[in-house]
Amino acid sequence: MRKRIALGSILPSVLLALGGCASDDDFPDSHDALPEPGADVVEDVPVESPETEAADVPFDADGADDAVDEGSTGCPPLTIEEIDLILAEAADRPMAIVTNDNLEGDVFLHGYSLCVDLLDPTIWHLVSRMRRTLARSFGGVGLAAPQVGVHRRILLAQRTDQVGRPIQAFLNPWIVDYSAETTTMTEGCLSVPGESPSVERSLEVSIDYDMEDGTPVTGERVGGAAGSQAAYAARIVQHEHDHLEGILIVDPR
């Protein structure tokens, strides 16, 4: 059993408003300007709204302890606090970012994320708000639910390996295989302000997940040769997946 972390008293210190979490140097000049393979990975998203700081976010890594019923997929239902945070604003409003520059935020970001019930309409409100948050970034290429205060297995990743480089939502993702071939690049993360460590990652991964229409995907291979946009897509997916496992880019590997 992991210890419950009640963030009600600490959210004002761990959530950043737009402009407070990155300088202009942290991002390309355009939303469409992605770093080329071999350049820094600019990930995650600043947000704009101080009023998003009001909600409380508890964390229980064993989630089902306090659940009255489990969802149709066997996933613990969202807590009241999670629902309040997600529904605090409209679906087209961005959310705020939890950072590790204070003890409470660091502990929260190292928590484990639970699966989600796709039949819960609140999940789609969360996905929409996460997409809006990412859209408000300057070149951000990915976002994970824990970074906006929700310990659930949802991530957004830019598919630089696909035509148009769309932002894809991965619901209940699990990386099930990592290639032995790796490469090392520097990465940035708005949940880890001021740090850009070199991170070794696999060139390819296989991932199981649910699509937004509910279709389950098994063993999708993402990645490619070193220096390719496909390998960059695999790096983004791995970075965001790490957030769901409670792993940050500054953690020992």
> Could you give the residue numbers annotated as active site?
240
Give me the residue label for tokens 């060139």: 203
Question: 98 forms bridges with which residues in the sheet?
Answer: 15
Q: Which residues pair with 41 in a beta bridge?
A: 187
CA distance 159 to 171: 15
Helices (H), 77-191: 80-86, 103-109, 121-135
Evaluated on CA atoms 103, 146, 167, 220, the torsion sign reads positive
3-state class of 50 per DSSP? helix
140 CB neighbour count, 10 Å cutoff: 26
Alpha-helical runs (H) found in the chain: 11-14, 80-86, 103-109, 121-135, 229-244
What one-letter code names the amino acid at 162?
Answer: Q
